[in-house]
């Protein structure tokens, strides 16, 4: 069935019944930057492992928040249970224990900028497209439906102290779009590597982000986003691995 869908989309594309994907995507992003009032719940799951030599520590936790965004303000409300978990985490840290959770870090990450980012994906995608180079467009299938897959390449951001010491840097963005250009999902990979000096260790970083989109109140939002990051320093002696999963569900 998937092969049949792909053949159908390929036929439609080759006969010119669809305009080019970049134009359709750009037009859709222009339509989906509405500012209608949105109320949604956010579930944020976090896992991290820090490794130094042969020793490693793992932290994992989950927080939930209620987001309300309208023409007047953007509000993030924390349930009492999250505040209680934060208090327990701080008490453990005050006793000199290494917390097994990362509640405070998660609450910091869900700042107004990050929340607005999740609720305004049209702007974020348009900005990334402006900085990227279009590579190709082809027919594909997504959840059993014919779609178009656009591929872009870009140069990922690098910390200032490493920018002049790179040996490799690359970024790719895949965007699956519907017939009218509306983004359905995307996959982004950003990576770089290099060496701090002749006698210093190598470093490398890779981040994979998978996103699913939906339209809420005339705006494009990220209803699911999963990011895995892996970094290493000093030739691999220091490592940091993490996974972040955001789920957003509209509230009536």
Whole-structure pTM over 0.95, yes or no?
Answer: no
Average pLDDT of the residues in 69-81: 93
Range 100-105, long-range pairs (CB < 8 A, 24+ positions) = 100/58, 100/59, 100/60, 100/61, 101/59, 101/60, 101/61, 102/46, 102/48, 102/59, 102/60, 102/61, 103/61, 103/63, 105/46
DSSP 8-state symbol, 179 = T
Q: Which of the pair, 18 or 147, is modelled with greater confidence?
A: 147
Average pLDDT over residues 161-171: 91
Q: What is the pLDDT of residue 155?
A: 94
In the chain, the percentage of residues whose pLDDT exceeds 70 is 92
Query: Per residue in 192-238, pLDDT tens?
Result: 999 887 767 899 999 999 999 999 999 999 999 999 999 998 877 89
Integer Cα distance of 173 and 190 in angstroms:
9
Mean pLDDT, residues 175-199 taken together: 92
The whole-number average pLDDT for the span 37-54 is: 94
What integer is the mean pLDDT of 17-31? 85
Q: What angle is formed at CA 173 by the lines to CA 168 and CA 179, rounded to 5 degrees? A: 160
Position 163 scores a pLDDT of 86
Task: Report the side by side order of strands in the sheet with 38-52.
Answer: 74-77, 55-69, 38-52, 238-250, 219-233, 202-216, 183-195, 166-177, 145-154, 133-142
What pLDDT sits at residue 248?
97
> How far apart, in whole angstroms, are the C-alpha atoms of residue 174 and residue 182?
14
- Locate tokens 């990922």: which residue? 156
Residue 107: which pLDDT band, with cuts at 50, 70 and 90? very high
What pLDDT was estimated at residue 15?
A: 40
- At 19, the pLDDT band (50, 70, 90 cuts) reads low
What three-state secondary structure class fits 103? helix
Average pLDDT, the chain: 90
Rounded percentage of the chain residues whose pLDDT exceeds 90: 75
Higher pLDDT, 126 or 237: 126
Whole-number pLDDT of residue 12: 47
């Amino acid at each position: 069935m998937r092969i049949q869908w792909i053949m159908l989309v390929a036929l439609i594309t080759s006969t010119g019944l669809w305009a080019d994907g970049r134009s359709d995507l750009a037009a859709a992003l222009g339509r989906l930057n509405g500012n209608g009032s949105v109320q949604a719940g956010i579930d944020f799951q976090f896992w991290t492992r820090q490794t130094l030599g042969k020793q490693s520590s793992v932290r994992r936790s989950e927080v939930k928040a209620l987001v309300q965004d309208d023409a007047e303000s953007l509000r993030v409300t924390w349930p009492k249970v999250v505040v209680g978990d934060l208090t327990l985490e701080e008490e453990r840290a005050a006793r000199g224990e290494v917390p097994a959770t990362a509640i405070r870090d998660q609450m910091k990450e869900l700042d107004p900028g990050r929340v607005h980012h999740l609720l305004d994906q049209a702007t974020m995608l348009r900005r990334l497209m402006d900085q990227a180079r279009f590579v190709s467009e082809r027919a594909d299938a997504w959840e059993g439906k014919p779609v178009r897959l656009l591929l872009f390449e870009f140069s990922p951001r690098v910390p200032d102290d490493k920018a002049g010491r790179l040996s490799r840097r690359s970024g790719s963005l895949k965007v699956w779009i519907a017939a009218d250009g509306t983004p359905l999902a995307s996959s982004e990979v950003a990576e770089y590597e290099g060496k701090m000096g002749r006698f210093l260790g190598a470093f490398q970083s890779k981040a994979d982000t998978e996103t699913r989109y939906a339209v809420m109140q005339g705006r494009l939002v990220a209803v699911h986003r999963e990011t895995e990051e892996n970094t290493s320093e000093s030739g691999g002696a220091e490592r940091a691995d993490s996974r972040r999963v955001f789920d957003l569900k509209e509230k009536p």
